[in-house]
Each structure stands twice: as C-alpha cells, then as structure tokens.
C-alpha cells in the first residue's frame, strides 16, 4: 500500500483532487489531500499575509509526522511542485517518490516567481495590488478558490541536495494549453535528465478535473501505457 500526499496549486484547496482521491483509495492506498495554510476558509488576514513557501513545506512535514508516514509519494500540482520539493528536501528520507503534476520543479535559489513566465509575474502582481499580500484568484476559476499568499510565490527555495536523492522523480506535462503553459522549457530540461521520468497528458492545466482517471493511472504506475493510449486516441 502506498501513501499519497496531494498538494494543490495556487488558489486551490484539497477539493481540487476530489475526483482523484476515491480512485486512489479504491485501489487500496492511503491518501491525504491538503489545503495549505492561508488558503483555508477560516484563515484570517494575518495568517494569509504570513504564509510563505516554508509555511507550506511545514504543512506537508506536519502531515508526515502526524500520520507517521514513511515512503510517501508527494504529488504537487502547479505551485504545489515548489512545496513538495521543499518538503522532500527536509523530510529525512521519508519520501520515496515525487510527482510534479504540470508543476514547477525548482533548483536551489529559485522561486515560483523566478521560474514562471512574465505573463504570470504580471498576473501575480496585478492580483496582489488590492492587499499587497494576497493574490486574488484568476477570473473564471472554481468559486472555491481563495486569494493566495503572495509571499509563497516570491520566497526562494533552499535545497540541500536531499530533494535530488528521492529515488523516483516524475514530471507530468499537460499539453493542451501550450499557448500559455510556463512548463515547456522545464519539460525539455527534464527530458534530458536521466534522473527524471517525463509523462505527457493531452489535457489542460487542471488535469485532475479534466481527466481524473488518467491522473490516477499515472499515480498508480499505469501512466506510461495510459498516456500513450490517450495520445493515440487524441490523434484519431
């Protein structure tokens, strides 16, 4: 039995994995979907303003401590890739697999801000203009989305090298938003790195909602065959 810890992207909560969780649990695995500090419905302004990348990595580490998890699979979507990288680097070997689901894969000293495109930096800045500390959700997203702590987008990550020693590291590239994705260059970089396994999914960014079965298949280790079948079907 595997233990999955699911970390959402910017503005989202645990609900973003609501269609994937039962598929993993139905396969007999333990699943913990997180809502990060500053994004919970009852978080006050002070909590939102103070939350940064370290705060969110600590959310994951507290879960590992509380549930006494070893051999965890950390799954991070979008911004959540920053969080699982930081958490894995500090987890004292308790993480055996990382899955960056259309997500940032930082190097030491990088941030979500430095890793993304100018388009998204402009959106972060405009979204935080009203408060100076919280980025309002983009237009048209799920109404459950909440303002995201700006400090977590800005803080640089400090990696000791433990992140790079996680035995299994995977990146999932969602290919149906190539006009806007900030991850095209990252995909190229990781394809050239033998330490990483790269999957392609023919979905938009929110693959968990568009194709929960395909996401679950990847997480359950059926991903290569499933993704190949998806690509063949898309080409028909």
3-state secondary structure string, 212-223? HHHHHHHHCCCH
The number of distinct structural domains making up the chain is: 1
Q: Is 214 exposed, middle or buried (0-12, 13-18, 19+ CB in 10 A)?
A: buried
CATH of the domain at 200: 3.40.50.1820
Asked if pLDDT for residue 1 goes beyond 80, the answer is: yes
- What does the pLDDT read at residue 233? 40
Q: If you average pLDDT over every residue of the chain, what do you get? A: 94
Position 154 scores a pLDDT of: 98
CA distance 153 to 209: 24
**185 pLDDT higher than 70:** yes
Task: Give me the mean pLDDT over the 112-127 stretch.
Answer: 98
Residue 144 reports pLDDT greater than 90: yes
Helices 212-219 and 223-235 sit at what angle, rounded to 10 degrees? Answer: 150
The pLDDT of residue 127 is: 98
Of 87-91, 110-114, 231-235, minimum mean pLDDT range: 231-235
Average pLDDT over residues 33-47: 98
**pLDDT of 222 higher than 90:** no
> pLDDT tens across 46-87, in order?
999 999 999 999 999 999 999 999 999 999 999 999 999 999
- Over residues 141-145, the mean pLDDT reads 97
Sign of the alpha-carbon torsion through 77, 110, 35, 70: positive
Segment among 1-5, 6-10, 23-27, 218-222 with least mean pLDDT: 218-222
Task: Tell me which residue range forms the domain holding 154.
Answer: 3-235
Q: Note if the pTM is more than 0.85.
A: yes
pLDDT confidence of residue 231: 39
């Amino acid at each position: 039995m595997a233990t999955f810890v699911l970390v959402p992207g910017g503005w989202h909560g645990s609900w973003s994995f609501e269609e994937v969780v039962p598929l993993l649990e139905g396969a007999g695995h333990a699943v913990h979907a997180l809502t990060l500090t500053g994004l919970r419905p009852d978080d006050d302004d002070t909590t939102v303003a103070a939350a940064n990348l370290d705060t969110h990595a600590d959310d994951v580490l507290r879960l590992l401590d509380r549930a006494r998890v070893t051999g965890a699979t950390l799954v991070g979507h979008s911004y959540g890739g920053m969080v699982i990288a930081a958490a894995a680097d500090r987890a004292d070997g308790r993480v055996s697999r990382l899955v960056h689901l259309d997500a940032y894969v930082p190097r030491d000293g990088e941030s979500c801000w430095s890793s993304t495109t100018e388009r998204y930096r402009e959106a972060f800045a405009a979204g935080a203009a009203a408060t100076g500390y919280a980025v309002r959700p983009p237009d048209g997203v799920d109404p459950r989305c909440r303002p995201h702590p700006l400090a977590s987008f800005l803080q640089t990550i400090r990696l000791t090298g433990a992140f790079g020693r996680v035995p299994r590291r995977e990146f999932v590239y969602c290919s149906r938003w190539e006009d806007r994705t900030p991850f095209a260059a990252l995909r190229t970089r990781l394809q050239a790195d033998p330490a990483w396994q790269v999957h392609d999914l023919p979905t938009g960014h929110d693959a968990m909602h568009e194709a929960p079965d395909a996401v679950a298949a990847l997480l359950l280790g059926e991903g290569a065959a499933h993704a190949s079948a998806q690509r063949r079907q898309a080409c028909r």
